[in-house]
Amino acid sequence: MSHAAPVFTLHAISRSFGHEALVRKEKLLRKIASQRQFRAKELACLHDTLNFMRAYPDNARILRQTTELVPRLRENAKAATLRNTGFPGSSNSHPYSYAVLQRMVRLFPGCLEIDWNEVEETRSLEETLSLLVTLGENQGLEDTRLTLQEWLEGCKANDEQTGLELVLEMLDYSMFSPRAQTSLFEICELPVVYHLRLPGSGRCEVVFPPARLHYQKRDIRRERFDLTRRILAPIGKISTMSRAHGRKLIDISLAALCSRNLEIYPLTNANPRDVTVADCGRGLQVVLVGVLPEFRSVLESLFFFLILKNGVPIAYGPAGVFLGCCEMGINLFPEFRGGEIRYLYAEFMRVLHHVLGVHYFFLTPYGMGEDNEDAIRSGAFWFYRKLGFKTTNPEVEALAQVEEAKMKAESSYRSNTRTLRRLAQTEAVLDFSHGSCKPTDFGKLGLLQSRYITQRFRGDRRRAEAHSAAAVAKLLGISHEGRALRSLAPMLYMIPTLRAWSAEDKAHLAEIIRAKDSRSEIRATRLFSRHSTFRAAIAALAQTGDEI
């Protein structure tokens, strides 16, 4: 057997548990620890295997052995062969966004730089820089004897600072607003190279020390349980993080996603003062992170979530909640796919129900596989159907029942790709709201508001917002200076029955608006879902735009 066998054998048995598997894992880990060199394929395999075993350790000894092996990976990193893998000591190439880079250069100074080998033209960057420097400096910037890379090198504060860090610093010090800074950076379309040279930057190094470890003593079972009953069951400890702990969890989330060349809007604009952690048991924690007030949506409350298993990030995604509804979708990192996915989904949905008041979960046709080959390959339709989601398209439901009959008659039968694409032409829902919840068509409402402003205010949006805010504030007896009221007012002003609402309904709406401006959106999210009069008014408003 070749010297590569220990790594691949460990990978093969990493999801097996019990005494026999434990003994073999310990022996293999000792062999791997004594191995001096590894081939690229071994390193890639070992990387994923160690990450999985840190999340699902058999016992304290196994966890210690895997943790001690992680630094060895850096000693064997080969940047050329492991590029874009998140391997410790290698490098990633990705056009990271401005907001992400602002945080990442503070987390990992000296590790992010403009990828000059991939820069096709520098004119956009030159034009941006010309707006950031003094008039006298522009003469040097225009000097053709220097390349733009050389000019940045000459302007750096010290040898450790990268050219990218200098550009970001100049934008931050400029007179431009954060939104303008973002636009000026994004038009440059700069390729970025991220050197994962500092500890904590590799994807197998990212961890948030859990308060309590859970050891996997037996094989991971494919559990069967009533999903709705599980979601409604009481949940474990729910904690609101301090600003310092919230920032730490956001940093960990950024490191986890950036090591995989991933970005997501609510994390890009994460609010360290709005971080909640739910302890689900079995080493599983769900982290919910709200967005900064200036980036909040008008109606929907948007959150980033990270799922941790024994402190190791294993899944992430966005959660947009409004009036008790939430579109489902969990992005499980590849090395953790399979296993206890049904349990993960159930616990995540339980957190959304208890923390954010969700009673209606749904997937769009895209989530089921329409124009989404990843969902087709993963068999998303059958996964959600077995989970308990119901189709909304009668034709798809009829086809699903035909397929189920074939599966019952022949245990090895599986729907082919063509059939899966037909099955994907539906929404799927899990509704325990007794029919009171229904997803809102935000696009339709937005277009209705645009038409309303055009007709009522001749397209003067500043006047529309100011007039609506003053009128709604007077009606509800609140200040019209808050950010939430200014953004909500035009939509509220369009509700024809608002003036006739009871004093109780108006007070409830005023409470929601104040909550929307508070540190966390969680309370506003729950208050929205309880306001039945507002729910009916939004539904009626959306119906007026059915011709759109």
pLDDT value, residue 157:
87
pLDDT value, residue 222:
80
The CA-CA-CA angle for residues 273, 441, 531, to 5°, reads 60
DSSP class per residue in 419-438: HHHHHTSS-EEEE-STT---
Would you say residue 3 has pLDDT above 70?
no
pLDDT value, residue 4:
47
Tokens describing residue 226: 């009533």
Place of tokens 């895209």: 366
Would you say residue 546 has pLDDT above 60?
no
pLDDT value, residue 79:
53
For the chain, the average pLDDT equals 92
Tokens describing residue 267: 């994390």
pLDDT value, residue 211:
81
Give the DSSP H/E element, type plus range, for residue 29: helix 19-34
Sign (positive or negative) of CA dihedral 72, 78, 79, 81: negative
Q: Is residue 548 very low, low, confident or very high in pLDDT (cuts 50, 70, 90)? A: very low
Percent of the chain with pLDDT over 90: 80
CB atoms within 10 A of CB 350: 22
> For residue range 472-502, what is the model confidence (pLDDT) as tens digits?
999 999 887 789 999 999 999 999 999 999 9
| Closest among 514, 526, 459 to 482, alpha carbons compared | 514
Q: Is residue 545 very low, low, confident or very high in pLDDT (cuts 50, 70, 90)? A: low
Would you say residue 2 has pLDDT above 50?
no
Q: Is residue 1 very low, low, confident or very high in pLDDT (cuts 50, 70, 90)? A: very low
Residues in CB range of 144: below 8 A, 6 or more apart? none
pLDDT value, residue 5:
81
Q: What SS3 class is residue 146?
A: coil
| Average of per-residue pLDDT across 279-289 | 95
Q: Which residue has the higher pLDDT, 338 or 208?
A: 208
Q: Which letter does DSSP use for residue 87 in this model?
A: -
Would you say residue 80 has pLDDT above 70?
no
Domain ranges of the chain: 5-75, 91-195, 442-543
Query: What amino acid is encoded at 253 in this protein?
Result: S
Would you say residue 433 has pLDDT above 70?
yes
The CA-CA-CA angle for residues 246, 248, 253, to 5°, reads 95
Burial label for 175, CB within 10 Å (0-12, 13-18, 19+), is exposed
Q: Which letter does DSSP use for residue 167 in this model?
A: H
